[in-house]
Chain A
Amino acid sequence: MNSVSTALADSAIMLRRNLKHTLRNPLVLFNAVLFPIVLMLMFVKVLGGGFNVGESYIDYATPGLLVMAVSYGLGSTATAVNDDMTKGIINRFKAMDVSRGAVLTGQVVVTTVRCLVADAAIIGVAFAMGFDPGASALQWLGVVGLVLLLTIATSWLAVAMGLAAKTAESAGLATVPLIMLPFLSSAFVPADTMGAGVRQFAQYQPFTPIIETLRGLLAGDPKAHDTLAALAWCVGLALVGYVWAVSTFKKRA
């Protein structure tokens, strides 16, 4: 077997392992899938009536909720990665010559799968609450593609944070900024209604163009400059996360 197919087979084995972990850990599933829906109900049914966003609130909030559901799943990824590193099992894998990347890619893929499930659930609940997108089939494909890209990018960041943290607790804590970012973006209210300082932050932080792109795609009216900024942020975050993760992994080896 050549090294690429070995690495792929190892990644598949690790993915199976991580999937079992996820399914056996109710808290992880709750955080990743149910909690975003709880927040969604709260924003749309409780708070949303008070916001004036110029359109049906469920149509406005759904893109932001898609992004938030992704970021909510990251804490458990960082914790799981850190757990693997601090318990003896990582040394076992290393001394067995499991492809170095497989341990990490397994985590990235399982996080991606989990986030896609969470986002599918969000879309499902959104439709149940009267979500009425104007997106074409191609634009829906664009939504899926961007969510996928965002998930992969932020998963690598979460993996890197898990590797860099000393304890599982601090690994979970390190991802809190990623979870907070959607709140300080145009996810729930337009950025230009925010106070000075916060407004500028919301306009220039990575999640805003991503959310705006999703919003545009779902409304059937994507803006080119948002899309470019969103893609650039995703690729940038993915690169930073990947390089950081791989170099930390080597250092801790």
Chain B
Amino acid sequence: MSSSAIAVSGLRKAYGDKVVLDGIDFEVAQGSVFSMLGPNGAGKTTTVNVMATLLKADAGTVVVAGHDVATATKKVRASIGVTGQFAAVDELLTGRENLQLMADLKRVRSGRDTVTQLLERFDLVESADKASSTYSGGMRRKLDLAMTLVGRPQIIFLDEPTTGLDPRSRRTMWGIVRELVADGTTIFLTTQYLDEADHLSDRIVVLDDGRLVAQGTPEELKRQVPGTHVRLRFGGLDDLDTAARALAGSTRDDQELTLRVPSEGDSRSLRALLDTLDEHMINALEFSVHTPDLDDVFLALTGRTSAEVVAQ
């Protein structure tokens, strides 16, 4: 048995003529957070569904927790927890009953204690006995994840766990992921957000149109992507010329009269930049700071933006 929690090789899946996964390979180390980054329609959910035994692959081998998903399906299921994109809670049941249902189905011995602990941990005690249909989106997502954790699965799949959540709920979700990993759980998560993958992951793969276009640590990946930069727009070519000469490493666009200057994005480097402009007595009409997002990653790795990928 290898020390990988998940090993995928040559995974292919097509629906009719449409190839969704075109032979992908990756390994997830035990006790790590592994992120799959990609735009809508890249094949992230399909990948999760194959690993979670919900979908059969056309080709390739997928080994989860040391068991082949095709031949030892039951053993795989006993080791995993899945939280999909849409909260899979029973809306007619209360939060407590939903958790108890999971505890019953997984034959957890001290089910009642487990339920109480999870309600406390996810800050759901107050609404524990209300029907989950009355929960807000964030609460539903929390309940969903709490249900996944019943029975302490070794490997947890989170399919876009924060899509549609407000910033505060996103932070809470990130905190929970970190706690789980600290306990030794392996997390596989999919996301559309580079910052999320960046904050949480030990390793990231980028999926585009059914193929992995990059993999590495967040640092390795970001090195391939144009970093944070400042965008300046000027009133005329003279100002643009002067600024381009004064600011090393910048790239200019004569038509738009803009200059793109690499920067750390912190206040000190921004002040230094503004000071340089002052020294040369140039006024920028517009000043904006850009941090790399998924679009930049895509542009760098595939030469297309994620919007273009979706539009195809």
Contact = CB atoms under 8 A, between A and B. Distances in A.
A21 B54 contact: no
Interface string B248-268: 000000000000000000000
Interface in A1-27: 9-10, 13, 17, 20-21, 24-25
A97 B102 CA distance: 11
A25 B92 CA distance: 8
A24 B92 CA distance: 7
B86 A17 contact: no
Contacts of A21: 92
Contact of B92 (A10, A20, A92): A20
Nearest to A24: B92
Contacts of A95: 52-54, 77, 80-82
Interface in B103-119: 104-107
Given A25-B92, A87-B88, A97-B77, A92 B97 contact: no
Q: At the interface, is chain A mostly helix, strand, loop or mixed?
A: helix
Contacts of A92: 82, 84, 88, 147-148
B299 interface: no
Interface residues of B, number: 30
Given A91-B82, A95-B77, A97-B78, A17 B87 contact: no
B101 A91 contact: no
A98 B88 contact: no
Given A89-B89, A91-B88, A95-B54, A17 B106 contact: no
A97 B101 contact: no
Nearest to B86: A88
B93 interface: yes
B105 A13 contact: yes
Given A25-B92, A95-B53, A88 B84 contact: yes
A223 interface: no
A96 B82 CA distance: 9
Contact of B105 (A20, A87, A93): A93
Interface string A223-247: 0000000000000000000000000
A94 interface: yes
A89 B88 contact: yes
Contact of A89 (B85, B90, B131): B90
B153 to A, nearest CB: 9
Nearest to B106: A96
B92 A91 contact: no
B54 A94 contact: yes
A32 to B, nearest CB: 16
Given A89-B88, A89-B90, A17 B78 contact: no
Contacts of A253: 54
B87 A88 contact: yes
B154 to A, nearest CB: 14
A21 B133 CA distance: 13
A24 B82 CA distance: 28
A13 B101 contact: yes
Given A24-B92, A95-B53, A97-B78, A10 B105 contact: yes
B189 to A, nearest CB: 16
A88 B53 CA distance: 15
B74 interface: yes
Interface string B124-135: 000000010000
Contacts of A98: 105
Contacts of B147: 92
B82 A17 contact: no
A92 B153 CA distance: 13
Contacts of B101: 13, 17
A25 B84 CA distance: 27
A18 B74 CA distance: 25
A97 B72 CA distance: 12
Interface string A79-112: 0000000011101111111100000000000000
Contacts of B88: 87-89, 91-92
A110 to B, nearest CB: 13
A240 B82 CA distance: 34
4 closest A-B pairs by CB = A88-B88, A97-B77, A92-B88, A95-B82
Given A92-B84, A97-B74, A97-B77, 20 more contacts: A10-B105, A13-B101, A20-B92, A20-B97, A87-B86, A89-B88, A91-B52, A91-B54, A91-B84, A91-B88, A92-B147, A92-B148, A94-B54, A95-B77, A95-B81, A95-B82, A96-B105, A97-B73, A98-B105, A253-B54
26 contacts: A13-B101, A13-B104, A17-B93, A21-B92, A25-B92, A87-B86, A87-B88, A88-B85, A88-B87, A88-B88, A89-B88, A89-B89, A91-B82, A91-B88, A92-B82, A92-B84, A92-B88, A92-B147, A93-B105, A94-B53, A95-B53, A95-B77, A96-B102, A97-B73, A97-B77, A253-B54
